[in-house]
Structure 1
Amino acid sequence: MLPINKIISKAIICLLMVIVAGTAAKAQTTQPTWWFGVSGAANFNIYNGTTQHLTNSLTAPTAFHKGNGVRPYGSILMEYRPKSVLGLMLNVAYDGRGGKFKDVVAPCNCPATLGTSASYVAIEPSIRLGGASGLYFFAGPRIAFNVNSDFAYTQLKQPNTNGEFSAMRKSLVSGQVGLGYDIMTSSAASTTKVSISPFVSFHPYFGQDPRSIESWNISTVRAGVALKFGKASKLAPAEVTVTPAPIHDFAFNVRAPLAAPLKRQVSETLPLRNSVFFDEGSTQLSPRYITLTSSQAAGFKESQLQNEQSADMSGRSARQLTVYHNILNILGDRLRANPDASITLTGASGAGAAEGKTLAENVKQYLVTTFGIGANRIAIAGRTKPVIPSEQPGGTKELVLLRAGDRRVDITSTSPQLLMEVGGGMMRPIQINTTQINPLDSQVVLNIDSAQQLLKSWSVDVTDDKGTAQHYGPYTRNQESIPAASILGSNTAGDYKLVMTGETRKGLPIRKESTLHLVRQDEAPTKGLRYSILYDFDSSNSTNAYDKFLTDVVATSIIDGSTVIIHGHTDIIGVDEYNMQLSKDRARDVKTTLERALTAAGKTNVKFETLGFGEDTGNAPFENNTPEERFYNRTVIIDIVPVK
């Protein structure tokens, strides 16, 4: 027998296939106000909670917990649709809520089973929201009256028992939400309308405690089909109209810098993620982390990491990861400089808390043996999952990447010399002076609305005033960016014509035009400031600790006349479109907090540019090959560009 979750998935897929197959006819009649019919469905029942006291005279030696079952549902129905959107529904139904609990083992080492044929007569009034497309949503209460409370109990070393549950509630009041799709099977000219309507609904466990004792509750997913009949009137000939489907008017926007700086000196406040990640199958420190000998550690200072590590480091990723991969050395230096400070190392491993503790012990041993930190200053603990895990209960996608991020040792402390509350208990940031090549405010950002949903692809041709053309693309996302240096080439300035061409998913061509003026800025501008906010997996709202950091540290460093560029990013886990929206939400959240702080400080002459890049690898600050890179990509970066 298939598991209940696979049965539910197959039922929903079948419903969607039926919905896609449905077609709408051109209306030649009115739509009926009243509809009558019948429906049939399967209830996919999911049991939670506990039941053990079966009757007044029978108590199972071992409690039954989770279970499931598939039972029939049938109703007579009525719908009232006075308007095209809002209506009412009523179903009077036989409602099967039976199933079988997962088998248990009694104290006598005897297998035991429990099944039930619980069923009800249900009255289900609902509010109906729909439209001309045929898709509708409904929600409302369910009032159910028990008509069957039979059970069947077996245990290996005693006779089988069939009976009726005691303490069954005679009536239940719960709720449901769902959606359906009306597929018209009658002709457009017929006044007798017939509709086949596949539907699904969800009945949460609220109010679905079938017994007045114990904690057994039922959640149900229902999938089925309704057959409906209605009486319509013919439209007068003048009322028969055919409205052509509108063609979407795509908006093509270009954001370009007036003066494109090709590089900028940046002083960056880099948050240090308070985690050390371990490779799968190994409890030893990963070779990615920079480890020192005792003699090397004696001369190590975290201030050595503040300047660029080498001239050939390209991009933010290499420089910042070099700092992060020194996290154990930074921690050892801070503990050595603050002899009263102490830390707790909490290791997490999917293999169990014991292995998690081993991971923490190996980090501790490095600090003790290499930096001479007293073992009594370092507490360790083990867990199966971190306190804030990436893998969420019930998740089924990209588990390898999520679990890699949960195999780690987290560093916590109450000592401000080690940690600084900039959100999530990050380690106190480190200041880095660096050179940024092609900063974000030198990028030409192209936006075309709904491209990801409505276009197969789109491209851009950039032509200068001499007729020299450059081609960029093809693209599929709503937003892309091109370095201004790429467009300018060896020119110091230029006027350009941009022609965006694309093809819709229906095969129609589109064309949009815009213009662009660029000026190369070769001289080094005033040194900029950069701050970063790191987020936990799938999180967009900044915490109160972030708000304090943004208000007290970031906002105070913004002077009148500055431009503040806020750009959000995500890692590659998840759906591209969702990640794009998540990155925009993160950037807007940070902007709102900064604007509030600047207004309170009387600073009004500040320009904001807010962008979301999602998981776009072309603009991502880091790669996505290791857990720490993915963690650092869950970020909003704030670049403060002072007025020249």
Structure 2
Amino acid sequence: MIHLHKKIQTVIICSMIMILANNALKAQVTQPNWWFGISGAANFNWYDGTTQRLNGSLIVPAAFHKGFGVRPYGSVLVEYRPAGMWGGALNVGYDGRGGKFKEVVAPCNCPADLTTNTSYVTVEPSLRLSVPKTNLYFFAGPRVAFSLTNDFTYTQLKQPTTNAQLSDMHKTIISGQVGVGYEIPLSPAASLTKVNLSPFVSYQPYFGEEPRDIESWSITTVRAGIALKFGRGSKLPVKDITAPPVPEISFTVRAPKTVPLQRQVSETLPLRSSIFFDDGSAEIPGRYIMLSNTQAGNFKEEQLQKQQSDNTTGRSSRQLNVYHNILNILGDRLRANPGTTISLSGASGKGIADGTALAISVKQYIVNTFAIDGSRIATEGRIKPLIPSEQPGGSKELVLLRAGDRRVDVTSTSPQLLMEVGGGLMKPVQIEATQVDPLDSRVVLNVDKAKELFKSWSVDLTDERGVVQHYGPFTNNQESISGAAILGTNPEGNYKVVMVGQTKNGLTITKENSVHLAGVNEAVEKGLRFSILFDFDRANSTAAYTKFLSNTVASSITDGATVIIHGHTDIIGEEDHNLKLSQERAREVQSILERALAKAGKNSVKFETIGFGEDVSHSPFDNNLPEERFYNRTVIIDIIPVK
């Protein structure tokens, strides 16, 4: 017995090794679409219900209820398994459903037994679902069975045994089954003839499994067996094993000539002439600064021009706070210019009446709080604003776009209220601010087609002493690193920059560059800042700012100064598109300034222009509110005078 046990262990281990080896081999031929074979199984049949009338001449004295039996099953099969998860199968065979009922006791106190030997010719089509990357599969489908034998044997103590046929049997039974199997390849991977051994288990519940027209006898079956399948594959075409070509990658490094730690800025902040409303409400949102009549009497726009504390991106919530005073700024300007008038255009996707209600809310605040004559303020309602964000046919990010279109736009024909930067309402507010680690102090890394070709990439910066700084991994085409972080306590330094990227097909690509960084000696650097804003997905709005850029901004640039231009977008839209859009906006602004400077004879101005797209680590504001997204559609111009 011990010797036999060891032999069984050896057979099992060898079988497992064969299975694993076959799975590990790389297929050299295609798998067959069609498989043919045979199967054998045991039907485990559970009887339930009641039977007592066995045929027209025999009604037994005690009814039979529970029973069980094991009977054979055998079939011929065909399977269709195209590439992919889904396929089909058909089994036609012999299906044994016999068994023995649990013994009962007749009224004469005589034990009685009933054994059935029913069988069918069964046709079982099924849908086959393969589990990806495994040999496991599931199947389910109907069972159509045609009666073949209906024999029974009835025995009762002190009575002769009866062998006969059951009456009132269904000629055809329609039911269903579900099951699971596993394919074990037996043939070598290189063989065109494929042979699989497939153990399987199926479950055929009692639904539809009532074999008789009378009484309530039903059968539940669990089938366990194994199938032997054959198929014919075809040879795979010989693949070119030449190593994939190494893609051409462009790696550039853009570094500031100096790295300012802080910059004191006099900023010209444009005011977006829109008030955005929350969905479902015509009340002015609480984030807008609302004053009492007493507070409004003491309010002056100049109060907002004090020193601001900025975050590391060069902007802060204080700039947004200036915008959130737009109603108070508007009231103060109307009060200071009695002859001016404005129009409020409310837009709501819920209809013109709702849009009008938004405009009236703004009008009531200005009239009641700043004592402005209501005849100076016209209101109208619209379904969409004059320049909507949501475009016809658009289907993506509609929630964000519609939030930006639920607003009140302020317009005016009064010259005292015209914006200095190109038409419309709300001329800019002057703000004194301090930038910490401004954007132009960062080292910008560009890897052409990184998102398309790389899984990830990283950089190592090595200084002249051999100290290495590692940054990454990155996935975007463009990334930036704080120049101050690279320098640390060093006043300046030369760095070797090595980019290492892992391509999507497993190659490692290395590119090398160099950079020189120098910190600013002064503790605080001084400069000017201007901003212009764009409508959604538009770059050509710069035409409206040509006069402002040519006259106001260009005249503020001294010969020899450095002009840093960086473009941004909000998070709506595709990332690559937004990056290109921000670059296009920034370059157009530079082009307008260059023409104006050349006309003025200023030929020594240096430009550093870059687009950051929707990069949230560099965006001027967050993207949670519609006004933040509108303010992120911007080009910012920093002017650093020559030292």
TM-score computed with the length of structure 1 as normaliser = 0.60
1:616 correspondence with 2:615:
yes
Taking a change above 3 Å as real, the CA distance of residues 315 and 255 of structure 1, as seen in their structure-2 partners, is closer
Residue 498 of structure 2 aligns with which residue? 499
Task: Give, in angstroms, the shift of residue 419 of structure 1.
Answer: 2.4
Larger radius of gyration: 2
Please tell me the residue identity of whatever aligns with 1:635: T
Looking at structure 2, the residues matched to 315 and 614 of structure 1 have their Cα atoms a distance apart, in angstroms, of 16
Residue 374 of structure 2 aligns with which residue? 375
Please tell me the residue identity of whatever aligns with 2:261: L
Question: Structure 1: which 5+ runs fail to align?
Answer: 1-240
Residue 403 of structure 2 aligns with which residue? 404
SS of equivalent to 1:538: coil
Please tell me the residue identity of whatever aligns with 2:446: N
Looking at structure 1, the residues matched to 541 and 383 of structure 2 have their Cα atoms a distance apart, in angstroms, of 27
Residue 554 of structure 1 aligns with which residue? 553
Taking a change above 3 Å as real, the CA distance of residues 571 and 314 of structure 1, as seen in their structure-2 partners, is closer
Q: Within 5 A, what are the aligned runs for 1:231-630?
A: 246-309=245-308, 315-420=314-419, 422-423=421-422, 425-524=424-523, 527-630=526-629
Looking at structure 2, the residues matched to 523 and 571 of structure 1 have their Cα atoms a distance apart, in angstroms, of 34
Taking a change above 3 Å as real, the CA distance of residues 547 and 369 of structure 1, as seen in their structure-2 partners, is same
Residue 259 of structure 1 contacts residue 519 of structure 1 at CA under 8 Å; is this kept in 2?
Answer: yes
Please tell me the residue identity of whatever aligns with 2:306: N
Deviation per CA, 1:501-541, whole angstroms, max 9, x where unpaired?
11112110011122233222241455211111111011011
Looking at structure 1, the residues matched to 506 and 536 of structure 2 have their Cα atoms a distance apart, in angstroms, of 38
Task: Give, in angstroms, the shift of residue 477 of structure 1.
Answer: 1.3
Task: Give, in angstroms, the shift of residue 415 of structure 1.
Answer: 1.4
Deviation per CA, 1:285-334, whole angstroms, max 9, x where unpaired?
11111111111111111111112256899851312101101100100110
SS of equivalent to 1:272: coil
Residue 344 of structure 2 contacts residue 380 of structure 2 at CA under 8 Å; is this kept in 1?
Answer: yes
Looking at structure 2, the residues matched to 400 and 607 of structure 1 have their Cα atoms a distance apart, in angstroms, of 42
Looking at structure 1, the residues matched to 293 and 308 of structure 2 have their Cα atoms a distance apart, in angstroms, of 22
Residue 311 of structure 2 contacts residue 436 of structure 2 at CA under 8 Å; is this kept in 1?
Answer: no
Query: Bigger shift: 357-366 or 463-472?
Result: 463-472
Looking at structure 2, the residues matched to 588 and 491 of structure 1 have their Cα atoms a distance apart, in angstroms, of 33
Please tell me the residue identity of whatever aligns with 1:477: N
Looking at structure 1, the residues matched to 553 and 257 of structure 2 have their Cα atoms a distance apart, in angstroms, of 25
Looking at structure 2, the residues matched to 368 and 642 of structure 1 have their Cα atoms a distance apart, in angstroms, of 44
Looking at structure 2, the residues matched to 463 and 244 of structure 1 have their Cα atoms a distance apart, in angstroms, of 32
Task: Give, in angstroms, the shift of residue 489 of structure 1.
Answer: 2.1
Looking at structure 1, the residues matched to 559 and 249 of structure 2 have their Cα atoms a distance apart, in angstroms, of 36
Residue 255 of structure 2 contacts residue 444 of structure 2 at CA under 8 Å; is this kept in 1?
Answer: yes
Taking a change above 3 Å as real, the CA distance of residues 367 and 269 of structure 1, as seen in their structure-2 partners, is same
Taking a change above 3 Å as real, the CA distance of residues 453 and 310 of structure 1, as seen in their structure-2 partners, is closer
Looking at structure 2, the residues matched to 517 and 333 of structure 1 have their Cα atoms a distance apart, in angstroms, of 50
Please tell me the residue identity of whatever aligns with 1:347: G
Query: Bigger shift: 444-453 or 313-322?
Result: 313-322
Task: Give, in angstroms, the shift of residue 500 of structure 1.
Answer: 1.1
Superposed CA RMSD: 2.0
Residue 359 of structure 2 contacts residue 408 of structure 2 at CA under 8 Å; is this kept in 1?
Answer: yes
Task: Give, in angstroms, the shift of residue 245 of structure 1.
Answer: 6.2
Looking at structure 1, the residues matched to 311 and 530 of structure 2 have their Cα atoms a distance apart, in angstroms, of 23
Deviation per CA, 1:470-523, whole angstroms, max 9, x where unpaired?
221111111111111111223333332222111112110011122233222241
Question: Structure 2: which 5+ runs fail to align?
Answer: 1-239
Deviation per CA, 1:152-207, whole angstroms, max 9, x where unpaired?
xxxxxxxxxxxxxxxxxxxxxxxxxxxxxxxxxxxxxxxxxxxxxxxxxxxxxxxx
Please tell me the residue identity of whatever aligns with 2:588: D
Task: Give, in angstroms, the shift of residue 350 of structure 1.
Answer: 0.8
TM-score computed with the length of structure 2 as normaliser = 0.61
Taking a change above 3 Å as real, the CA distance of residues 463 and 244 of structure 1, as seen in their structure-2 partners, is closer
Taking a change above 3 Å as real, the CA distance of residues 350 and 364 of structure 1, as seen in their structure-2 partners, is same
Deviation per CA, 1:548-602, whole angstroms, max 9, x where unpaired?
1111111111111011111111000000001110111111111111111111111
Residue 312 of structure 2 contacts residue 435 of structure 2 at CA under 8 Å; is this kept in 1?
Answer: no
Task: Give, in angstroms, the shift of residue 360 of structure 1.
Answer: 0.6
Task: Give, in angstroms, the shift of residue 281 of structure 1.
Answer: 1.5
Looking at structure 1, the residues matched to 468 and 331 of structure 2 have their Cα atoms a distance apart, in angstroms, of 56
Task: Give, in angstroms, the shift of residue 641 of structure 1.
Answer: 1.0
Deviation per CA, 1:251-279, whole angstroms, max 9, x where unpaired?
22111123211111111111100000011
Aligned-residue identity in percent: 65
Taking a change above 3 Å as real, the CA distance of residues 393 and 312 of structure 1, as seen in their structure-2 partners, is closer
SS of equivalent to 1:521: coil
Looking at structure 2, the residues matched to 517 and 600 of structure 1 have their Cα atoms a distance apart, in angstroms, of 33
Aligned pair count? Answer: 404
Residue 348 of structure 1 contacts residue 385 of structure 1 at CA under 8 Å; is this kept in 2?
Answer: yes
Please tell me the residue identity of whatever aligns with 1:589: E
Residue 308 of structure 1 contacts residue 319 of structure 1 at CA under 8 Å; is this kept in 2?
Answer: no
